[in-house]
Amino acid sequence: MKTKLFLLSMLLTASAYAEMYKWVDANGKVTYSDMPPPASARQSQKKALSTDGAESGLPYSLASLNRDHPVILYSASQCGPCDDGRALLKNRGIPFSEKSIATNSDMAALKQAGGDGRLPYLSVGSTRLNALNAQEWNNALTAAGYPESSRLPGNYRFPQAQPAAATTPSSATTDTK
């Protein structure tokens, strides 16, 4: 029993991108392993193991911050201050999601999020900042616990901007079945 627990803990801590396989052999025995099943396996499943944000490629400390104090940038194309704000976040190594403002419904979503119509608009957890002020943005990020310099892994890729209206609760549909 101790050996199984030890192996399981090693599998879980070995890598944020580890994969776990489950299969049933010809005798009906269920096996869990970090190695792919043999060709003779009757049923098999593959799962990626992750903990607290590992699926996003973030180290644990940043994944925790991102979960507890998410950073959301509202921006528009052809917006110099928006480009500057995005660069500030990227240079500091802040994982953030970006919501683009291009339509009236996007603008309504911005206002629903607390924005006054000026861009860029930054949300850091419960802190809301209208327009770019690098000192205010950095103070809010530091107050939330984000590091002063990047701790992002070298292979981290910032997500693409999504329309702001697509992610508002009022535009979401729910299945009542």
**One domain for residues 27 and 70:** no
Domain total in the chain = 2
Count of all residues that appear for the chain in the document: 177
Range of the domain at 6: 2-49
User: For residue 74, is it within any domain?
Assistant: yes
**One domain for residues 126 and 152:** yes
**One domain for residues 125 and 79:** yes
**One domain for residues 22 and 75:** no
Q: What percent of the chain has pLDDT over 90?
A: 58
**One domain for residues 71 and 135:** yes
Q: What is the pLDDT of residues 1-59, one digit of tens each?
A: 555 544 444 444 444 445 667 778 778 787 877 677 887 877 776 665 444 444 467 88
Q: What's the token pair of residue 92? A: 């500091």
**One domain for residues 95 and 142:** yes
The closest alpha carbon to 95, from 73, 118, 110, belongs to 73
**One domain for residues 9 and 76:** no
User: For residue 176, is it within any domain?
Assistant: no
Q: What is the pLDDT of residues 43-63, one digit of tens each?
A: 776 665 444 444 467 888 899
**One domain for residues 64 and 37:** no
Q: How far apart are CA 125 and CA 120, in angstroms?
A: 16
Q: What is the pLDDT of residue 109?
A: 94
**One domain for residues 40 and 110:** no
Q: What's 157's domain CATH number?
A: 3.40.30.10
Average pLDDT rounded to a whole number, residues 85-89:
98
Q: Do residues 9 and 34 lie in contact, with contact meaning Cβ atoms separated by under 8 Å?
A: no
**One domain for residues 60 and 43:** no
Please state whether the predicted TM-score (pTM) of the whole model is above 0.95. no
Q: What is the pLDDT of residue 15?
A: 42
- At 137, give phi and psi (nearest 5°): -60, -50
Q: How far apart are CA 109 and CA 96, in angstroms?
A: 18
